[in-house]
Amino acid sequence: MAYTVLARKYRSQTFDEVIGQDPIAKTLKNAIKTGRVAHAYLFAGTRGVGKTTMARVLAKSLNCLTVDAPTIEPCCKCDSCVAINIGEDIDVVEIDGASNRGIDEVRQLRENAIYRPARCRFKIYIIDEVHMLTVQAFNALLKILEEPPSHVKFIFATTEPSKVIPTIQSRCQRFDFSNISPKLIAEQLKSILKQEKIKYEEDLVLPLAKMANGSMRDGISLLDRLISTGVEPLTVELLEEFLGQPNSEKIYNLIGQIGDNDAAGTLAAAEDLISTGLSEVQIADSLIDYMRDLLVVKSTRLGEGPSRSRTGAESDLLILTAEQKKRAAELAEKFDAAALIYSITALERLRWALKNSDTPRALLEASLLRFALSEHFLNVDVLLSQLQTGSSTAIKKKIVIEDTKPKTPKSTFIPSPVRNFPKETANTTRKEKNSNGASEPRATRDEGRETKDEHRTRTNSQRKNEIINDPAVKTVLIGLDATITGIEEDPTS
C-alpha cells in the first residue's frame, strides 16, 4: 500500500476534529443548523492552521449524500464525502489561486458555475491563496459574487487577507484562523505517535510542537520527517541533530558562561556550538529564544502576587520540558530583567550584522565576549544592595569614605548654601538671628540641626549620584537608553 504522509492521513474529518479553531467551527455549525450558510466565505490565517481542512468539512456538510439536507455531521463515507476528502469531487472544485490567477480561468469558472451540480446540493468552489488572483480576475469574480446562482458557494482561503480587494472582502463572511498553540499541536502529535505505534521520549513532543510555529501541518510534517529516519525511540537529541537545531544543553552552557562573566568559558562554549556545524546566525537566533525564556522566568516572578497565573519557570508563557524548566530557572538567577532585555535587542541587531559580515565568527565571538565581560550582565539589584550595604570590596571603599564624612566638623558645611530652601528664606532667617541676640544660641542650635539635615540630604544626593555614576550602573543605563532610542552606545562616554 502506498505511503500516505501523516498530514493527509490525520487530516481532521469533522468540525469537532478541527484543532484550535473552535469558535469558527461553532459558528459554521450554527449556520448549517439554522440554514444561514453564506454564499461566500473568506478563511484567513497562516499556513497549516486548518483553512483547507475547514473548507472541506464545510463542503462535506453541505453535500453529504446520506442525508437530505446540509448536516453538521457528514458521514465521511459516501461517494461525495470521500471524493471531497481527497480534493477530487466533481461538484467541489478546488482551485489553486497561485497557478490559476488570470482572467481566463475565472471566466471559465463563471461559465461552469451556472450549471447545476452533478450529484449534490451545491457546487462549491474552494479557491486557495485567493490573494494571488490578478486585478482583472478579481473583477471577473466580483460579477458572480454580486449575484451568485443559489446552488453556488465560494470558500476562499488566503494567508494574506490584506491583498484581497475590499469589494471581494465585503461580499464574504470572513473568518480569521488563529495560530495553533504548541500545547494543542503537542497533543495531536502524541496521538499520532500512539496510533502509529512509534516509541518516543516524552520530552520530544513539546520542542517539536514549538518548532511548528503555530502550524499543525508543519508540526506533523516535522514528525513525519523524524519518523522517516527509522530511529527509535525518537528523542530531542535526534530532533536537534536531524533538523540542524542547536543542542539545547550547549546553548544553556553558553548562556551560563556569559552569566558567570567567564570569558574563556564563553569562547569555549561558542566553539562547542560552532563545531557542530551551526551558522553564527543560528546561534544568535537560539540565544534570543533561550534568553527570552529566561526573561519570562525573571519577569513573571517580578510580578508575583495574587495573580492566578503561574510564575517563574512554571509560567504558562513558556513551552519547556521539565529539564529545560529546571535549567532556565537556574540560569535566570545569573541575570536581571534589564540585562536580558538589553541582550535580546543587542542579539537581534547582531543577527542582521552577522548576515552581512564576511567574518561572522569573529563578530559573534566579540559580541559574546562583550556580553560576558560587560557590566550589563551584572545583576542591578545585587549591585544596588552592595552599594547600600557596602558588601562589595570595590564599592565598599566609596561607602567607607562616605561614612567618615559625618565625623568632619560641622562648620565645613556652613558656607555652602542651603540647597533645599529658597535663598530668600535662608537670608531672612539669618537677618532675624542677627537682630535678636538673645535667640542667638537657639538659632545656632537650629542652624546646627539644619546642617545635620543638610548633611543628610547632601549625603543622600551624593550617594544617589555615586550610584548613578558608578561605571556598572552607568553602563546598564546607557545600554537601556541605547536600546530604547536605538542609538548605539558611545564608547567614549
Residues at the site binding Zn ion, with contacts judged by CB under 5 A: 64, 66, 74-75, 78, 81
Chain-centroid distance of CA 354 in Å reads 22
Q: Which long-range contacts (CB under 8 A, 24 or more apart) does 161-166 make?
A: 161/42, 161/44, 161/131, 163/131, 164/42, 164/130, 164/131, 164/138, 165/135, 165/138
Looking from the CA of 285 toward its CB, the CA atoms found within 13 Å total 12
- Residue 84 or 137: the one with the smaller Cβ distance to Zn ion is 84
Cell of 101: 490567477
- Residue 84 or 234: the one with the smaller Cβ distance to Zn ion is 84
Q: Which of 414, 418, 344 is nearest to 377 (CA)?
A: 344
Q: How far is the CB of 59 from Zn ion (least distance, A)?
A: 11
Q: What is the DSSP letter of 200?
A: B
- Residue 64 or 106: the one with the smaller Cβ distance to Zn ion is 64
- Residue 13 or 392: the one with the smaller Cβ distance to Zn ion is 13
Q: How far is the CB of 11 from Zn ion (least distance, A)?
A: 16
Q: How far is the CB of 128 from Zn ion (least distance, A)?
A: 22
Q: How far is the CB of 60 from Zn ion (least distance, A)?
A: 6
Q: How far is the CB of 47 from Zn ion (least distance, A)?
A: 28
DSSP string, 397-437: HHHHHHHHGGGS-GGGGTTS--TTS-HHHHHHHHHHHHH-S
Q: 466-484: b or e for each residue (b if 16 or more CB lie within 10 Å)?
A: bbeebebbebbebbbebbe
- Residue 50 or 70: the one with the smaller Cβ distance to Zn ion is 70
- Residue 81 or 338: the one with the smaller Cβ distance to Zn ion is 81
- Using an 8 Å Cβ cutoff, are 16 and 25 in contact? yes
- Residue 62 or 152: the one with the smaller Cβ distance to Zn ion is 62
Residues 280, 367: Cα–Cα separation, whole Å: 11
Compute φ and ψ for 328, nearest 5 degrees. Answer: -65, -40
* 3-class secondary-structure state, position 174: strand
Q: How far is the CB of 90 from Zn ion (least distance, A)?
A: 15
- Residue 84 or 172: the one with the smaller Cβ distance to Zn ion is 84
- The CB density around residue 211, as the number of other CB atoms within 10 Å, is 17
Q: How far is the CB of 127 from Zn ion (least distance, A)?
A: 23
Residues 291, 205: Cα–Cα separation, whole Å: 21
Residues 173, 155: Cα–Cα separation, whole Å: 9
Q: How far is the CB of 148 from Zn ion (least distance, A)?
A: 24
